[in-house]
Amino acid sequence: MPETTAGSPPAVMTARTCARCGTHLPASLLACPACRALVHGDTLRQLASEAQAAESRGDVTGALSAWRGALDLLPADAEQWAAISARVAELGRQLDARPARPDGAAPPAPTHRRAWAAVAAVVIFALSKGKLLLLGLTKASTFFSMLAFLGVYWQLWGWKFALGAVLCIYVHEMGHVAALRRYGIAASAPMFIPGLGAFVRLKQLPTDARQDARVGLAGPVWGLGAGLAVYAAYRITGITALAAIAQFAGWLNLFNLMPVWQLDGARGFRPMSRAQRALAAGAVGVAFALTREGLLILVGAAAVYQLFRSTGEPGDRGALALFVGLVGVLAWLATIAVPIAAR
């Protein structure tokens, strides 16, 4: 899960005097208390120029990264902060929007061409995500903390289950990393805590609830993908340990959907309206009736609790649909039959 701990940007620590009035400034200030001049005005202008250039060439992620860098150098009560925050939210919506086919466009390609295009898209997606997954393993902190985590689980459950469980957790965390990178949010590589889990530390905080929800739910989405892949491998090979690993992936990601504390479900619930939260809680109840997965009782209780918390958000149908879909499939995966030999 992503941990929302943001640090001060390095540029902040070098400021000492106001360029406009000469007032001595503590290192943490972003605006002069005497004349209200912005301490990092030159850097802000440069970042704005970079963001606008990125937008002009269609690089939405690059623009988001530059605008977020500017937010780090602005006090939260500044007029510019509100304007840039709104721009970040708008760019996030553009990033998620699916392009519609314009009027007069060419008719769809024949069925066989569309099929090959779909296959090519899947291959390209797998290769691109595979590169990102391998990139995370090049970080020493990730690799060695993962080994320590593996050692703990190895002693408890044996190397097969331990390795599968660690990789499922890693894929889950890299889902967060992929979403963070997409929205231009700086974050660390995953860090494992032996015996407990893993987290990604955010160096910048999301300023838009909708984007925060996508970042939070990206972990369970990737984790579900890993679980389904392992389950498919079990059905093909009959290796019983794979069934246990797939079930673990379902349980782990379902647990993370609890909308409490800093778990992924809390982020997914953040942009939902009260009515949407009620629908999400109802979906959890339906999933429990169908699967009898006990963990859903905790997920449902947390969802009901969220109904009584104030929300000023207009609602997010995408977050609701994603949450409901994840609950249903993960509950099924968490209750698959596992051969006794794999336990």
- At 211 the pLDDT is 92
DSSP per residue over 287-331, as a string? Answer: HHHHH--THHHHHHHHHHHHHTS-------HHHHHHHHHHHHHHH
Residues pairing with 198 in the sheet: 192
What contacts 84, CB < 8 A, 6 or more positions away? 67, 70, 71, 74
User: How much is the pLDDT for 149?
Assistant: 84
- Record the tokens describing residue 335, joined without a space: 């209750």
What gap in Å lies between CA 75 and CA 101, rounded to an integer? 41
Per CATH, domain 2-96 is 1.20.58: yes
| Contact present, 89 and 211 (Cβ < 8 Å) | yes
Strand partners, 3: 201
pLDDT by position in tens, the chain (length 343):
676 544 444 444 444 677 777 777 776 777 777 777 787 778 888 888 888 898 888 888 888 888 888 888 888 888 888 888 888 888 888 887 755 444 434 444 444 454 445 444 444 444 455 666 766 666 777 888 888 888 888 888 888 999 999 999 999 999 999 999 999 998 888 888 887 788 888 888 888 899 999 999 999 999 999 999 999 999 999 999 999 999 999 999 999 999 998 899 999 999 999 999 999 999 999 999 999 999 999 999 999 999 888 667 788 999 999 999 999 999 999 999 988 755 4
How far apart, in whole angstroms, are the C-alpha atoms of residue 183 and residue 95?
8
| Closest of 321, 126, 82, 318 to residue 222, by C-alpha | 126
Separation CA 249–CA 234 (nearest Å): 13
Which residue, 81, 340, 129, is CA-closest to 225? 129
Q: How far apart are CA 52 and CA 145, in angstroms?
A: 39
Q: What is the pTM of this model?
A: 0.77
Which strands make up the sheet holding 191-193, listed edge to edge?
A: 2-3, 197-201, 191-193
- Tell me the residue length of the chain: 343
∠ CA 160-162-167, rounded to 5°: 100
Q: How far is CA 232 from CA 228, 239, 284, 336, in A?
A: 6, 11, 25, 12
Cβ atoms within 10 Å, residue 83:
12
| Residue-range domain boundaries for the chain | 2-96, 139-342
- Residue 123: the pLDDT is 44
pLDDT, residue 97, reads 77
CB atoms within 10 A of CB 214: 25
Residue 218 Cα distances to 146, 187, 265, 326, 342, angstroms: 21, 15, 11, 10, 29
Check: CB of residue 183 under 8 Å from CB of residue 204. Answer: no
Tell me what pLDDT residue 130 has. Answer: 62
